[in-house]
Each structure stands twice: as C-alpha cells, then as structure tokens.
Structure 1
Amino acid sequence: MTGIGPRLKRERVRLKLSQSALGAIGGVETNAQGNYENGMRYPRADYLSRVSEVGVDVSYVVTGQSRPPPANDASSAQPSENLEHVIAALHESLHGMSRNLYQMTRMLEARTQHTEPDGACSLDALCNEAESISLAALRLIYTTARLV
C-alpha cells in the first residue's frame, strides 16, 4: 500500500475503528473518511491533529515512515511535540516537491525548445498544473506553520 489514503486505512484498521468512528473523531462525515482512504481527497491538518489523539500515527500516514517509539513510556510524549515533528516532515516534503516540480518544468521547457513546437501547448498545461500544486503546497505550509 502506498499513499496517504491506504496508510490512513491501515491505521484505522490497526486501531479497530470503523470509517464512521474515525471520521467522527476527526470531525468529518463517513463519506469524507472513505474519500480520504480511497485517495480521492486529502485530510486537513485539523483532522490529522484530532485523529492523532486516539493513536493514529500521523507521521506514518503523511510520510510513510513510522515515528520512533518513545524512549520512556507512551505517556511521556506530548501530542504537540508529535504534531511539530509531523509538520516539520510535511514542510520538508512539500519544499522538496516544489523544488522538483520547478526543475522538471525547466528541463521540459528546455527540451521542448530544441524539438517540435507542438509540445508547447502540453508544456503550458503542465507548467500551469505544477504552479497550482506549488501554490497549494505553499498555502499548506503557511496554514500548518500556524498550528505550532
């Protein structure tokens, strides 16, 4: 399983919760929970914060990497510390994605200039999509930065 949706489902099953139960905890309807798990939509930071309080490993859901177990006991970790860690990892991933999108569009632009002009139309569409994704990533970084 790859992607946020399947990892979220794996966490829900691990915790023995129904879609409606986890959705209610996260503050969303059952159909929204299903859309998250099917990869049709992505959960917001406030949803992730709420479900982390019942044991969902948000670090795993967002990045695919489980957080290390606490050094002492589970009660010693503060939820805000876990959230800060997840937000930092998310920011790093979003910055990396934005850099890669920029590099990809520049490389394709250079390739298209040396080949056929018909590719310019599809390149424009690709650049517009990459710009939209980058702007959404920046908005997410800004929004999540205010949570900590």
Structure 2
Amino acid sequence: MPIGERLREERERLGLSQPKFAELAGTTKQTLFSWESGRTAPDGFQMAAFSAAGVDVLYVLTGERSGAHPAHDAAEQVLLDSYRRCSAQARQHLIQTAALLAAGLPPAPAKKSAAAAGSGGGQSVVGDNAIQIGSVTGKARIKSK
C-alpha cells in the first residue's frame, strides 16, 4: 500500500477532515489531496507535525505499526478492559450499542428479567450509595422504638 493511502488511513483513524488534517502540517487541502493520491509526499517537517498530532508516522512511511499511540485515558482503559473480559456475544452487543450511541440514537431498552419484573425484590443503589433491599407497596407502618 502506498504512503498516500496509509496517510489517508491515519487521517480517517483520527477522525479528521482533509482541511483539518492539512492544517496540522501547515498546508492546504489541495496539497493533502496530492499526498493522499500519491502524486507528491510530505516532507520531514510535515511528518513531524503529524507525529505530534498522534499520527503513526512509522506506519505511514513503512506500513508497520509503531505501537506508540497515546495512552488511553482512565475511562477508555476501563471500557477496553471490560470489553476484553466479555464473551463474544457481549462484545457484539457492546459494539452495536456503541455504534448507536455514537450515531446519537438511544440503545434498545434492556429486557427485564423475571425476578425484576414482578417480585418486587432485589436491590437498587440510590444517589448517596445507600442500598435498598426489597420494596413495600401499599400502606406500611413504621414502628418507633
């Protein structure tokens, strides 16, 4: 795969438009198009600017990933670790849910289990981390000590 195609891949991986990506290297969209189409190539200064913005320059130049991408923040790492511990079916569900959320659509409502649907039992965590076990419906008297 030519350098231009790998450069486009990196731009897309970072989620940047051609004008925004060109701006990182201090150039124009037209010049970037020329690079991505393989007619010309960025120089060392431009590649250094791309590297500072998170582009895997080793991959762009050689086709081999460097593995030196910026570290995930704590929330991303929790999400990634949790994903890796899931079954194949759960992973597929997470991927679908993430795609829906990223598109701005609400995920499908979770199905209620038989225990949660009609028994009135279970536990719930409230805002102050107090745990409520069970529930009371109808009238209830509270005895004083």
TM-score by length of 1: 0.46
Q: Which has the higher contact order (CA 8 A, sep 6+)?
A: 1
Name the one with the larger strand percent: 2
Name the one with the larger helix percent: 1
